[in-house]
Amino acid sequence: MTSPHANALLAVGRYLRAHDYRFITVTPSTHRRINRRPGNERAADLRGIFGWSRPFAPADIDAELLGLMREAGIVEQDGALLRSTLRASTLGEMLVFHSAYPTEEDDAVFFGPDTYRFVGTMERAFPWLAAGPTRAVDIGCGGGAGALAIARAFPHAEVIGADINTRALALTVVNTRLAGLDNLQACRSDLFDGLEGDFDLVVSNPPYVLDPSELAYRHGGDMRGAELSVRIVKESLGRLRRGGHLMLYTGVAIAGPVDDFLEAVRPDLETQCDHWSYEELDPDIFGGQLGEPGYEEVERIAAVWLHAIKR
């Protein structure tokens, strides 16, 4: 995203905030169901345009706002109507731009209920950090939700939002400016490969499903989608300072009484950490995914939270 486009998108965000815009993003299945209700074929307000990703006519929107959207490059033709290519979601007191529904592109920037669970659980764990980190990183930051929450809670900290997706990083920059934060920077990195030094805090909400198309924002690799999460645990422990914290929110495919993800990372946690805890936040998410290839033996997908403190 070039600077003029970024400045225009920032102006769009400020316009939305000035008009008391708020939207909580739901699951794709709920989004699809709500949009199919009679009367929801077209956007009737700002939430319809920027939240529900519904098409709209130029006459349906303030001319100033439409001009800013065109300048930002976030308007596309949808038959005889127009459609925003971005959504804006409420995260606490912040507004976060991310990809429009449906998220089908390889470089889509995802935001949804998982994001809320991730950030909410992380914020409840902040008391463990006492005065807070000096240097923190959100691995696979997407639009920057986790990094934004850290930067807002600990204004003295140097916070990095790291992602391999340059589109995500561009949105992280805009979302950071929109939140009025000056202690967060975006960095292109494949996990830790593009990062230097070590950290007091590493957080991550990585992709964790098996995706036949291997879309980067969804596909977690082998181990029924857990491979990427295992890599993040192992590499994070190698880059954490003594007493540093790892906070990971992910999904785990459970195929019986054994949690394969937990067993894969347990040896590293036990040998490298003074304290670690692991819990299921939700025992059954994305049930529709169980009908996809690779999940034939899977009983459920659990949302899990890992918090580890480096020895």
Query: Which pLDDT value is given to residue 200?
Result: 97
Q: What is the mean pLDDT of residues 94-120?
A: 95
Q: Residues 163, 195: contact at Cβ < 8 Å?
A: no
Q: What is the mean pLDDT of residues 138-152?
A: 98
Domains with residue ranges and CATH for the chain: 3-99 (no CATH), 113-310 (3.40.50.150)
pLDDT (tens digit per residue) in 184-219: 999 999 999 999 999 999 999 999 998 887 877 788
Q: What is the mean pLDDT of residues 9-35?
A: 97
Q: Tokens standing for 134?
A: 């000096």
Neighbours of 191 (CB within 10 A): 20
pLDDT (tens digit per residue) in 46-86: 999 999 999 999 999 999 999 999 999 999 999 999 999 99
- Percent of the chain scoring above 90 in pLDDT: 92
User: Does residue 2 surpass a pLDDT of 80?
Assistant: no
Neighbours of 291 (CB within 10 A): 8
β strands within the chain, DSSP E: 75-78, 81-84, 86-91, 94-99, 135-139, 158-163, 184-188, 199-204, 240-254, 273-282, 300-310
Q: Tokens standing for 307?
A: 């918090």
Give 3 or 83, the one with higher predicted confidence: 83
Give the chain's count of helices (H) and strands (E): 9, 11
pTM of the model: 0.95
Q: Residues 109, 99: contact at Cβ < 8 Å?
A: yes
pLDDT (tens digit per residue) in 263-309: 999 999 999 999 999 999 999 998 989 999 999 999 999 999 999 99
Query: Which pLDDT value is given to residue 214?
Result: 82
Query: Which pLDDT value is given to residue 29?
Result: 93
Rounded CA-CA distance 63/155 in Å is 37
Query: Which pLDDT value is given to residue 1?
Result: 67
Residues in Cβ contact with 204 at an 8 Å cutoff, skipping those fewer than 6 apart: 138, 139, 140, 146, 229, 232, 236, 247, 248, 249, 250
